Amino acid sequence: MTSMDESWTLRNGLKIHHRSVLAAMTNKQSHDDGCLSDNEINFLKRRAKGGFGIITTAASHVQQSGQGWTGEMGVWSDHHIPGLTRLADGIREYGSKSFAQLFHGGMRCPSSLTGQQAVSASENFISNSEGSSREMTIEEVNETIRSFANAAKRCEDAGFDGVELHGAHGYLIAQFLGAKTNRRSDEFGGDVLQRMTFLNKIIDAVRECVSPKFSILVRLSPVSDDNGIRLEDTLIVCESLLSKSIDALHISCWDVFETHTSGNTLTKEISQFIDNRIPIISTGSVWTGEDAHFLLQEGADGVGVARVALPFPDWPHSSASLNYSPAKPPFSPGMLMDAELSSIFVDYMRRWKGFVTDGK
């Protein structure tokens, strides 16, 4: 039986010393020019010290116009490299592997932030105030693919172990994957395999400009009503991704205990389908040692956590114990600040229902 404190390897042979994965968490702590702040670096380094096998950064935009919110980390320019280097060095110091999450918000980029109409795979209604997105031209699609590759190269130059391509949660890659948000009639639209073209081309472009030892992860939402992604589509996407030069899949379930119509959890459905052909990380509502153990039994190779790592940065150290049951929210601002969250991040967490004692 696999234990949380056992090492594992990604498809390219990268050895990870622990099964725990710090999932990407937006924390609003970056500077306006996208550079990492000391607060953000300290927050992530503290979790590396706490024993996480993988540390994933917050979603970071690969193009200035792909920014989804303020305080977001950027990877769109070489001026970000010194901060990225300090972060990668700090994570390596503790033996964790570092991954930058690369993303473009697409139709979820507010025009108040980017100064332009949001773009997407197709023209999609956003909101009454934002209106609709504009369908990207082929030139824009190709330029965005290049931006993902350039961003990955910056991360490798900065000393990161890899990147995670953010294909989950309804951002640009998911907008291309979904039948509802992608109604293109060119090579980037059509059936699910055709809707994958954008992601496939990003993977190829990234791989072309990084070394084989640099790892590429792909994060997916297995089911999304908003984008029009069904589990059946995701299985086709997963099968097709196996032939690409990627090193692990990361599925974002929000609640790994929830069962699909088949009666199985999404992790079980996907891990049975994948049948050990590529490592899988699964994330969503894991809190205790028992939860982590359950997820490993469902077939995950890596156990992703986000929220529990905020008050408990040393979570990995205890996660192999079935008796480990850390306190549940709400947490006081003081407790979160003691765990290296700055007042900006604590304030952001006040928006997550029931998480901070004086929050929503």
Ligand X SMILES: Cc1cc2nc3c(=O)[nH]c(=O)nc-3n(C[C@H](O)[C@H](O)[C@H](O)COP(=O)(O)O)c2cc1C
Which residues contact ligand X (rule: CB under 6 A)?
Answer: 23-26, 58-59, 101, 166, 168-169, 219, 252, 254, 283-286, 305-308, 352
Q: What's CA 195's distance to the chain center, in Å? A: 20
Of the two residues 189 and 289, which places its CB atom closer to ligand X in the complex? 289
DSSP code of residue 187: T
User: At closest approach, how far in Å is the CB of 164 from ligand X?
Assistant: 8
Of the two residues 293 and 307, which places its CB atom closer to ligand X in the complex? 307
Nearest to 318 by CA among 330, 329, 310, 326: 326
DSSP code of residue 285: S
Of the two residues 125 and 254, which places its CB atom closer to ligand X in the complex? 254
Of the two residues 4 and 58, which places its CB atom closer to ligand X in the complex? 58
Nearest to 25 by CA among 14, 40, 12: 40
Q: Please, are residues 66 and 109 in contact by the beta-carbon 8 Å criterion?
A: yes
263: left (phi over 0), alpha (psi -120 to 50) or beta: left
User: At closest approach, how far in Å is the CB of 310 from ligand X?
Assistant: 8
User: At closest approach, how far in Å is the CB of 23 from ligand X?
Assistant: 3
Of the two residues 45 and 61, which places its CB atom closer to ligand X in the complex? 61
Q: Please, are residues 175 and 169 in contact by the beta-carbon 8 Å criterion?
A: no
User: At closest approach, how far in Å is the CB of 52 from ligand X?
Assistant: 12
Q: Please, are residues 118 and 133 in contact by the beta-carbon 8 Å criterion?
A: yes
User: At closest approach, how far in Å is the CB of 267 from ligand X?
Assistant: 13
Could you tell me the two tokens for 251?
A: 């599925």
User: At closest approach, how far in Å is the CB of 25 from ligand X?
Assistant: 4
Of the two residues 80 and 184, which places its CB atom closer to ligand X in the complex? 80
DSSP code of residue 224: B
Q: Please, are residues 174 and 164 in contact by the beta-carbon 8 Å criterion?
A: no
Angstrom distances, CA of residue 44 to CA of 56, 310, 349: 8, 10, 16
